[in-house]
Structure 1
Amino acid sequence: MRKHLFILPLIFVLTLYSCKKLEYTSPFVEFIKMNLQTKGTISQPDIGIRYEGEEIPWKNNSLKILAGEGRFEFYLKSNNEVLLDTIINVIPSEDIFYLYQLDPRDIPVIIKDDTKSIPPPPEGFLKIRIANQAKVMFPEGFDVIFHLDLGKGWEPVYTIENVSSKLSDYHIFPKPANGQEYSLSFINSITKEPIKLRNGTAFLGTVGSMFNVGNSTIMSLYLNENARRCTSYSLVGTNGGCYTVDFMFLFKN
């Protein structure tokens, strides 16, 4: 009888160990590799990651995590300051995630390059999404209006509304024909007032051939501003300063 009493606790301990081990070896638990990189002003060696409250290694742009939603904390190793606490949904794919911070004064965000995994647009069309990093010029967000010269001057053909610091949803619209290019204008998303040059006329800027980049049809872009000396009326004037406007590629495929 005493021998049986000794064996029962042993069986109980082994059972607990087996259950705990099941968390890591069960075929129903799917571990995947997450491709996570940095973009902008953030340097990967300076950043630590806690996943579901536990420290995890970040080597060669790779994290080993569970498939599905998980909580990520990104912090500075130097002082343990948490830069971003967020939920990310990760599924097996070719998608690349970026911890992105264009301006050190901004809270970093997670952006996903899904250009290789999403369906392409129809033939002759583009699939585009945009984010706003022109925080002085467009602190409240903006609408971007695409214009084409259809023989009677520049005419609006498509509008993406409420562009903010987060990447918009994808928008599908025609790719310019050979020899054509889009011009862009901007209006305040709230007041609907156009963005103006220093001489008081509405801004209308060409973007050259950036939407005719080889065979690229899926693009993620951000709008950036560059401060300039106020020496020309062709600059955008706002908040007492002068700026040029640039679209920069994040991803394209």
Structure 2
Amino acid sequence: MKRIKQLCGAMLLLIASVACEKGDYVKPFREFVEVSFDANKTALRDNGEAIYIAARYNGYPIEWSPGGDGKIKVVEGEGRFEFYDTRNDRIVADTLIDVIPGAEQVFYLFQPTLESPVTFIDPVNAQAGEEAAPEGYIKLKVANYAQDVIPFSQTDVKVIVLYYDENWNEIRADVGVIENVAKAVEEASYVLLPDGVPDGVTDYQYIFEFIDGVTGQPLLNYGGTDYWTTTGFTPMYMDPLPMKNVFTLYFVTQKGWGEAPHFIKNGDDFYEIQSKVLYAD
């Protein structure tokens, strides 16, 4: 018995020696790696009601927090990631990715409305070819996905800068008008506007009003006054800070908390229009 053990040991050493001589190396295990999928700009994630998006890895459900850091832990190497609507199990996006140890791999999903398809976007390079706005100006590309509560065949958007003076009085100043706003991001074009920010003002935001492009009449809220977005965008609080002042925005509808004068009534429910930043450079 002892002799058999010695022979087995010798054979194992011989095999290992031959393998080393040939320079062969077989990795004894595969590393676990984190890859991130940012779903914050999907209506399935951000709709004011619930999170309706989940993930599968190589056909199996996997832990993923679309409302958190978006990280998924998997083994290194090629894998298929599927994202599905939890309400009906329908796959809304899928991709094949070679997950690499030590690489920071982050992927971004975009879906402006629940009825829109989910697509992958590249916020780092999407506006790389667009020239910076001149000093004192901003470039805006705007798309309107809030058409369900805006009854205009052509919608113009008034851009307003809001800030406070030295006595903390609220100041609203018109910046300009974007005419005939596109109904999708891929159909929109950049518009150059003055930034409207007085010297010395560092805390400001942009808000929007909606105008009938045919009649010139403003969109009214439930209270009968001009409707304007309560959620604007604030370039100086973005991270990283936009250096080119080039922005792509889109408008979406979100259900309000209840009956209120500043909301828009549509049927039996009340809504608001939110402006969201897709790209900022």
TM-score, normalising length: structure 1: 0.54
- Where does residue 274 of structure 2 map in the other structure? 246
- Where does residue 144 of structure 2 map in the other structure? 132
The reply on whether 1:237 has 2:265 as its aligned counterpart is yes
* Other structure's SS at 1:159 match: strand
Cα distance in 2 between the residues matched to 1:117 and 1:45: 35
Counterpart of 1:106, as a letter, is S
Shift, 1:111, TM fit: 6.7
Counterpart of 2:175, as a letter, is V
Question: Number of paired residues?
Answer: 183
Counterpart of 2:254, as a letter, is N
Asked if the contact 2:175–2:194 (Cα under 8 Å) also holds between the matched residues in 1, the reply is no
Cα distance in 2 between the residues matched to 1:241 and 1:147: 27
Shift, 1:107, TM fit: 5.1
- After superposition, the CA RMSD in angstroms is 4.3
Structure 2 unmatched runs, 5+: 1-37, 45-52, 58-77, 85-89, 93-106
Shift, 1:182, TM fit: 3.3
Asked if the contact 2:229–2:275 (Cα under 8 Å) also holds between the matched residues in 1, the reply is no
The structure 2 residue matched to 1:103, chosen from 110, 113, 119, is 113
> Which aligned pairs between 1:102-121 and structure 2 lie closer than 5 A?
102-106=112-116, 113=123, 114-121=126-133
Structure 1 unmatched runs, 5+: 1-36, 47-57, 62-75, 84-96
> Which aligned pairs between 1:19-58 and structure 2 lie closer than 5 A?
40=42, 41=44
TM-score, normalising length: structure 2: 0.49
Shift, 1:243, TM fit: 1.0
Asked if the contact 2:233–2:275 (Cα under 8 Å) also holds between the matched residues in 1, the reply is no
Q: Kindly tell me: are residues 100 and 209 of structure 1, through their superposed partners in 2, closer, same or farther at Cα, counting changes over 3 Å?
A: closer
Shift, 1:197, TM fit: 1.3
- Where does residue 142 of structure 1 map in the other structure? 155
Asked if the contact 1:196–1:237 (Cα under 8 Å) also holds between the matched residues in 2, the reply is no
Asked if the contact 2:232–2:274 (Cα under 8 Å) also holds between the matched residues in 1, the reply is no
The structure 2 residue matched to 1:226, chosen from 254, 262, 271, is 254
Shift, 1:101, TM fit: 3.0
Percent identity reads: 21
Cα distance in 2 between the residues matched to 1:135 and 1:45: 33
Cα distance in 1 between the residues matched to 2:154 and 2:79: 36
Cα distance in 2 between the residues matched to 1:99 and 1:208: 22
- Where does residue 159 of structure 1 map in the other structure? 177
> Which aligned pairs between 1:169-180 and structure 2 lie closer than 5 A?
169-177=189-197, 178=201, 179-180=203-204
* Other structure's SS at 2:142 match: strand
Shift, 1:193, TM fit: 2.9
Cα distance in 2 between the residues matched to 1:195 and 1:159: 14
* Other structure's SS at 2:175 match: strand
Counterpart of 1:224, as a letter, is V
Can you list the C-alpha shifts for 1:20-64, whole angstroms capped at 9, x where unaligned?
A: xxxxxxxxxxxxxxxxx9863588979xxxxxxxxxxx9899xxx
